Structure 1
Amino acid sequence: MDSFGPFILLILMFFQWTAAPTAGEVTWTYSGLVGQSEWSEYFPECGGTSQSPVDVTTTKTRYNPDLKAVTPLGYSQHGNRPFSLHNNGHTVVIELPEWMGLRGLPWLFTAVQLHLHWGSGGPSHGGSEHTINGQSADAELHVVHYNSELYPNMSAAMTQRDGLAVLGILIVTGEETNPGFDNILNYLSRIRHADQKAFIPAFDVQSLLPKDLGRYYRYNGSLTTPPCYQSVIWTLFRERVQISKAQLLKMETILYSSKSDEPDRMLLQDNYRTTQPLNHRVVFTSFSAESGKELSSGEVTAIVVGVMCGCVGLAVIIRFIVKTIRFFKLLHLETVVVNSSTSSWDVLHNNRPAPMPRLKEPEKEKEKKQDVALNSTSAAEKKEEPSPSPQSEP
């Protein structure tokens, strides 16, 4: 009996080894038996040194003036062919036509598909894969391309270091509805369960992108899902795209990661990978530090208040200057009025005639005038004396 013990043990080990699933057969998840922490056991490249996503620390980025603006090709030329919408149990995928591509990188890249990542707690609870200065967005859109100059197809390119290029768009929530994302979210009810597909009307894919395609972060990384091939040139746009709270709620609550025939339904939520170490990689920027500085809400508020205070102060200074100018103008006007009210002689003193000097009368003329005056006086006196009355005779 003892001789059968080692034999039975060998048989059990043999069956265990033959029953062990290969990497292609493993059904990975974001949490659970084959969750993120176990990915590297079944997919060795998931434990590599150039994994994605990453946290972009803006103070450690490096400006590269050679980075050009990204140029989508054919994104708006969707034609009449419908798009294929697919729930693969991990995310929602839209297959893109081969005439869509991308310029602005060292090679021409052809579009393959786009998909989304999100959370479960609504706005401000995270859901994006990449983070900026440790801060998550509410969701993230990825547009995947392969290097069509060097490789014939996606399968051949995805294992090569320069094989793929992915655009990363961070998504935040606000009050306004984003009509571009309605082209996807309004049809999610058709693919609620894993492995379900549906055709949807084609639309302008560029409507999903931010307006500013010239400012972005660039680094070498990997696929963010198994097999985690380290073959991706990442372009993470600095500008975020906004959707409404209702749109985010659709994204987080409509789809299931379970199949339709499975008794236990599992919502497809929190389908994002945690950030991975940079491991001495450098994140480059297409914009300078001055134009690309990330500001917190407090800093933005302080700047707005400062600008408002500066405007008020400038208005006060301008008002003071205007009042001062008016005051001096009024003072000058009053001075002119006072001066004009004075005598013309005072104003035109140089034209005032000098007084005529009195001439001395000659002495003889003066004596004659005195004699005449004396004679006149004597004559008057004689007239006044009474004449003597005649005396009567004895």
Structure 2
Amino acid sequence: MWLFTLLLEVIRITAADAGQHWTYEGPHGQDHWPASYPECGGNAQSPIDIQTDSVTFDPDLPALQPRGYDQPGTESLDLHNNGHTVQLSLPTTLYLEGLSRKYVAAQLHLHWGQKGSPGGSEHQINGEAAVAELHIVHYDSDSYDNLSEAAQRPQGLAVLGVLIEVGETKNPAYEHIISHLDEIRHKDQKTSVPPFNVRELLPPQLGQFFRYNGSLTTPPCYQSVLWTVFSQRAQISMGQLEKLQETLFSTEEEDSELLVQNYRAPQPLNQRTVFASFLQVGSPYTTGEMLGLGVAILVGCLCLLLAIYFITRKIWKKKLGNQKSVVFTSVRTTTEE
């Protein structure tokens, strides 16, 4: 039996490494991924639709500290059109603190939609998608030698998810990537990008985030990712978004289709818990806190009503006593006369 299990595992890894053809739509689209990549049909897949009224507030979640992100260094970075996304290599001098192990950066990439169509991000918040999403991929360097090895192990990877929305001005940090897209219009084309401050790709405030266990959002969909999705969003201009939507192609041919709508649909949460580092906007209290607050208000109202009742009763008794005293005094006076 163990030989059969081992054989299946070898076949699975070999199929993944062979780079079987897959797309987001059509006969090789995401609905068919599990046929070639079994883990894509697992019960802990990503992305997900984060329902803020169902997350669990965890005040003990430590804040993430990106280290080395703001130190560009001197080495150029490789920008690559791999047919599925635009991917930027990152040096291992970038790493994360605030997790149980040291996770060093490997690469970042983007997901986006199609011009004129809503959506583009992979993660959603309360059923609403953003126009794009940035993923920064890290691997557990304390336990594994490289990204490929870590990707097949539980929590071998840590990925930062940044939802992107359209703002009024051009984002200089994202322009370091977007301005080079014309150089890699077709699949497998690469170019060099001068080093820049990667920290500026992230939202200004990193303290508010969601955390859950999930998977790679593309085949082979290994369920090895510790996800951190920030609540605050990054902004790019409409021009930058349209450049992202209109420049890249998914194959090597000149007349190939645009590389657009490269996002996976939200996957079932199943029995997983999504944690939040903050109390939710729109409902400043968790469900338990709301229940406790409601009970406290009810008890307070009852106490107030009881206090009013006893005060009113006391005043009424005092007034009644004064009335009896007046009557008694009046009777005595009449008798004496």
2:279 equivalent to 1:285:
no
How far apart are residue 263 of structure 1 and its match?
A: 5.4
Tell me the secondary structure at the aligned position of residue 31 of structure 2. helix
Matched, 1:62 2:56: yes
Deviates more, 1:52-61 or 1:76-85: 76-85
Decide which of 195, 198, 201 is 1:202's aligned counterpart: 195
- Bigger drift between 86-95 and 280-289 goes to 280-289
- How far apart, in 2, do the equivalents of 1:58 and 1:25 lie? 36
The one-letter code of the counterpart of 1:287 is F
CA positional deviation for 1:288: 2.2
TM-score (norm: length of structure 2) = 0.78
Aligned residues: 271
Q: 1:350-369 residue pairs with structure 2 within 5 A?
A: none
Give the number of the structure whose alpha-carbon radius of gyration is greater.
1
Higher relative contact order (CA 8 A, sep 6+): 2
Distance 2:152 2:92 in 1: 20
Q: 1:47 aligns with which of 41, 46, 64?
A: 41
Identical residues among aligned pairs (%): 52
Within 5 Å, which residues of 2 pair with 1:152-301? 152-259=145-252, 262=253, 264-289=255-280
Aligned-partner Cα distance in 2 for 1:152–1:55: 32
Q: Which amino acid aligns with 1:269?
A: V
Which of 31, 38, 45 aligns to 1:37? It is 31
- Show CA shifts across 1:156-199 (max 9, x none): 11001110000000000021111111000000000000000000
Aligned to 2:92: 98
CA deviations on 1:43-62 (whole Å, 9 max, x unpaired) are 00000000000000000000
How many angstroms apart in 2 are the aligned matches of 1:119 and 1:290? 26
- Paired with 2:283 and 2:211, the residues of 1 have a C-alpha distance of 13
> Could you tell me how far apart the structure 1 residues matched to 2:37 and 2:226 are?
20
SS at match of 1:65: coil
Contact 1:58 1:293 in 2 (8 A): no
1:2-44 CA-to-partner distances (Å, cap 9, x unmatched) read xxxxxxxxxxxxxxxxxxx945242100012211010000000
Unpaired runs of 5+ residues, structure 1, are 1-20, 295-394
Distance 1:78 1:37, change over 3 A: same
| Stretch moving more, 280-289 or 134-143 | 280-289
Structure-2 change in CA distance of 1:159 and 1:293 (3 Å): farther
Equivalent-residue separation in structure 2 for 1:207 and 1:290 (angstroms): 24
Alpha-carbon deviations, 1:349-368, whole Å to 9, x = none? xxxxxxxxxxxxxxxxxxxx
Describe how 1:122-141 pairs up with structure 2 within 5 A.
122=116, 125-141=118-134
Q: Which moved more, 1:149-158 or 1:164-173?
A: 149-158
Q: Secondary structure at the match of 2:134?
A: strand
Q: Report 1:301-316 matches (<5 A).
A: none
Checking the alignment, whether the CA contact within 8 Å between 2:115 and 2:242 is kept in structure 1 is no
Q: Secondary structure at the match of 1:247?
A: helix
Question: Which residue number corresponds to residue 320 of structure 2?
Answer: none
Shift of 1:276: 0.1
Residue matched to 2:331: none
1:256–1:267 CA contact under 8 A, matched in 2: yes
Q: Distance in 1 between matches of 2:85 and 2:284?
A: 32
Distance 1:22 1:110, change over 3 A: closer
Q: Tell whether the 8 Å contact from 2:165 to 2:235 is kept in structure 1 after alignment.
A: yes
4+ runs deviating over 2 angstroms: 21-25, 288-294
Partner Cα separation in structure 1 for residue 112 and residue 146 of structure 2 = 28
Shift of 1:121: 2.7
CA–CA distance in 1 between the matches of 2:174 and 2:152?
31
**In 2, Cα distance between equivalents of 1:227 and 1:209:** 27
- Specify the SS of the correspondent of 1:60: coil
Aligned residue number for residue 361 of structure 1: none
Deviation of 1:218 (Å): 0.3
The Cα RMSD (Å) is: 1.6
